[in-house]
DNA sequence: CTATTATTAGAGTATATGCTCTAGCCCGTC
DNA sequence: GACGGGCTAGAGCATATACTCTAATAATAG
């Protein structure tokens, strides 16, 4: 494998494990067993590494959210989108974690991310439309679909942050498991619940039950 | 005013404007016109300043979310809670911005914040119950109330992050206005909409309309 | 007034971090 | 086998950051 690729992979791995803020370029080089000079031969600076990773993430999600317009959508389609998006979220989970700082320090990234966000919101709306055409969703006003899409986006992109903040202190820094992340699907389906038509409603509710967050079972100690 | 208090106030101000990550203890001291030594006479370290600020935030929100149990709740109560919570969010907006890093670097804060989260989730559920008793909400299963409360929490605590990430690059670093933050109320009411009873439903929808996010009007350029 | 304590100034330190610079190695080509 | 460009090592720099140390100054009590 080319050194450039290795840098990307290792950076992503370390960022995901420890957070971008806690991973220096020297760490990345050391972890790879290469010199800092070598790393900087392949990338002008740290931002470029992050930007590269973002573009891969973007490509992946755009691929996932390529919604067919020539046919209505099914419950299976919907679950597929959810599973895919949360998979992507897991693979690039560092990104949403340090998002604000990253955007503040790279205008290019800020602009691209903004467009990315609106593309995703649009895709969510198109999924709603497809599901309505498939008889899964009730028809709703454009305004409501827009607000709903935004709420879905908020839940999806920040579920990870919630999980991490609700973790007890004694667990390690990288203790969230992919299955826990998937529990965000439960929350998204909770949002959609009131807008589902029978008989799909019961079907989706049954699927939803499988993702029930484990945090909910636990009772918090309010000392 | 005591120096200690001044340090807290200035820190909060600078953190809110520039983000905790971008504000050093030397900046705080310089901004106050005092020496670093003086600052460190009053606080052992930066974490202690942040922890102090968090405790004030906690106190404020706990005060806002002191839900009466001896009477049902009205639509006005609900709107009052929303307005208050978003006010608090605005005053301490730096906090949710750099949350993950802050929690990673202060176990004490992590533990307190975890409990704080669960207290808030509990308060949201009790608001739901109060509104049900007041005839504003339909009755729902405990499971649904729990999931709903969590979604409300996610939207409230991350609305700010969304706004900042959706800002175009040409706006300043502290360009979000409090009215924009309040638009999060629209999103929360969107969540609650399906569970409202007539005649309150129409009333709430009318109130909701006043908070409609301006971002929604804009069309994004997907270059 | 004096002794003690609380507060403040400000130079300075240890460490980290992103990044640079120069020299040299590897490897394919003529 | 010599040449040259792609690649790599690694010492080291400029800057920043959280924090310390000493000495001096205010405030307060006896």
DSSP codes joined into one string, chain B: --HHHHHHHHHHHHHHHH-GGG--HHHHHHHHT--HHHHHHH-SSHHHHHHHHHHHHHHHHHHHT---SSS---HHHHHHHHHHHHHHHHHTHHHHHTHHHHHHT-HHHHHHHHHHHHHHHHHHHHHHHHHHHTTSB----HHHHHHHHHHHHHHHHHHHHHHHHHS-TTS-TT---HHHHHTHHHHHHHHHGGGBPTTHHHHHHHHHHTT--HHHHSPP---
Mean pLDDT score of chain B: 94
CB of B158 closer than 8 Å to CB of A161: yes
Give the pLDDT confidence score for residue A223 in this predicted structure: 35
Give the pLDDT confidence score for residue B55 in this predicted structure: 98
Residues 27-66 of A with CB under 7 A from strand C: 27, 36-37, 40, 44-47
Q: What's the CATH number of domain B46-217, 3.40.440.10, 1.10.357.10, 3.40.50.300, 3.30.450.190?
A: 1.10.357.10
Any idea which nucleotide's C1' is nearest the CA of B21?
A: D17
Give the pLDDT confidence score for residue A211 in this predicted structure: 97
Give the pLDDT confidence score for residue A220 in this predicted structure: 45
Q: Tens of pLDDT along A93-141?
A: 999 999 999 999 999 999 999 999 999 999 999 999 999 999 999 999 9
Name the one residue in this structure whose structure tokens are 């992507």. A88
d(C-alpha A43, C-alpha A40), whole Å: 5
Say whether pLDDT at B219 is over 70: no
Name the one residue in this structure whose structure tokens are 């790879």. A32
How far is the CA of A154 from the CAs of A75, A151, A184, B105, B186, in angstroms?
Answer: 21, 5, 11, 25, 13
Provide, rounded to the nearest whole percent, the portion of chain B with pLDDT above 70.
94
How distant is C1' of C2 from CA of B45, in Å?
35
d(C-alpha B103, C-alpha B87), whole Å: 23
Q: Where is A32: in which H helix or E strand?
A: helix A25-32
Give the pLDDT confidence score for residue B167 in this predicted structure: 86
d(C-alpha B49, C-alpha B36), whole Å: 14
Determine whether the distance from the CB of A1 to the nearest atom of strand D is below 7 Å: no
**Residue from the list B101, B110, B221 with its beta carbon closest to the beta carbon of A19:** B101
Give the pLDDT confidence score for residue B220 in this predicted structure: 46
Topology of the domain covering B1-43: Arc Repressor Mutant, subunit A (1.10.10)
How distant is C1' of D28 from CA of B178, in Å?
45
Q: Tens of pLDDT along B54-89?
A: 999 999 999 999 999 999 999 999 999 999 999 999
Selected residue with higher pLDDT from B144 and B217: B144
How distant is C1' of C11 from CA of B38, in Å?
14
Q: Tens of pLDDT along A195-223?
A: 999 999 999 999 999 999 987 765 444 43
Residue of chain A whose alpha carbon sits nearest to that of B165 = A114
State the average pLDDT over residues A156-163: 97
DSSP A150-216: HHHHHHHHHHHHHHHHHS-TTS-TT---HHHHHTHHHHHHHHHGGGBPTTHHHHHHHHHHTT--HHH
Q: Which of A154, A7, A120, A117 is nearest to B153 (CA)?
A: A154
Cβ neighbours, 10 Å, residue B138: 12
Whether the bond into B199 is cis, omega within 30 of 0 = yes
How far is the CA of A151 from the CAs of A154, A158, A208, B179, B182, in angstroms?
Answer: 5, 11, 18, 19, 15
Same fold, A1-43 and A46-216: no
Q: With an 8 Å Cβ cutoff, are A195 and B191 in contact?
A: no
Residues in chain A: 223
State the average pLDDT over residues B102-120: 97
CATH 3.40.50.150 fits A46-216, yes or no: no
Domain boundaries, chain B: 1-43, 46-217
d(C-alpha B13, C-alpha B28), whole Å: 10
CB of B32 closer than 8 Å to CB of B49: no
Residue of chain A whose alpha carbon sits nearest to that of B106 = A169
> Touching check for B209 and chain A: CB below 8 Å?
no
Say whether pLDDT at B25 is over 70: yes
- Residue B70, token pair as written in the block: 């001896």
Give the pLDDT confidence score for residue A19 in this predicted structure: 95
Q: How confident is the model at residue A143 (pLDDT cuts 50, 70, 90)?
A: very high
Say whether pLDDT at B197 is over 50: yes
- Residue A26, token pair as written in the block: 């020297």
Q: Tens of pLDDT along A160-201?
A: 999 999 988 766 556 899 999 999 999 999 999 999 999 999
Say whether pLDDT at B173 is over 80: no
Which of A146-150, A199-203, B14-18, B214-218 has the lowest average pLDDT?
Answer: B214-218
- Residue A135, token pair as written in the block: 């008889």
Give the pLDDT confidence score for residue B217 in this predicted structure: 62
CB of A184 closer than 8 Å to CB of A155: yes
d(C-alpha B176, C-alpha B86), whole Å: 13
Contacts of residue A192, Cβ cutoff 8 Å, sequence gap at least 6: A137, A148, A152, A204
Q: How confident is the model at residue A1 (pLDDT cuts 50, 70, 90)?
A: confident
> Touching check for A158 and chain B: CB below 8 Å?
yes
């Amino acid at each position: 494998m080319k050194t450039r690729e290795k840098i990307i992979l290792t950076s992503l791995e370390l960022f995901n494990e420890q957070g971008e803020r806690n991973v220096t370029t020297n760490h990345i080089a050391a972890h790879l067993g290469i010199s800092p000079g070598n790393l900087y031969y392949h990338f002008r600076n740290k931002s470029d590494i992050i930007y590269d990773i973002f573009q891969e993430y973007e490509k992946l999600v755009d691929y996932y959210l390529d919604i067919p317009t020539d046919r209505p959508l099914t419950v299976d389609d919907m679950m597929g989108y959810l599973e895919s998006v949360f998979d992507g979220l897991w693979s690039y989970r560092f990104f949403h974690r340090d998002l604000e700082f990253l955007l503040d320090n790279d205008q290019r990234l800020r602009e691209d991310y903004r467009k990315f966000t609106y593309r995703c919101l649009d895709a969510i709306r198109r999924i709603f439309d497809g599901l309505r055409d498939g008889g899964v969703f009730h028809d709703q006003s454009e305004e409501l679909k827009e607000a709903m899409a935004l709420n879905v986006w908020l839940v999806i992109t920040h579920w990870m942050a919630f999980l991490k903040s609700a973790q007890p202190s004694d667990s390690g820094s990288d203790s969230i498991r992919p299955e826990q992340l998937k529990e965000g699907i439960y929350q998204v389906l909770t949002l959609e619940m009131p807008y589902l038509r029978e008989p799909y409603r019961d079907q989706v509710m049954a699927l939803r039950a499988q993702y029930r967050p484990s945090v909910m079972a636990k009772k918090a100690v309010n000392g």
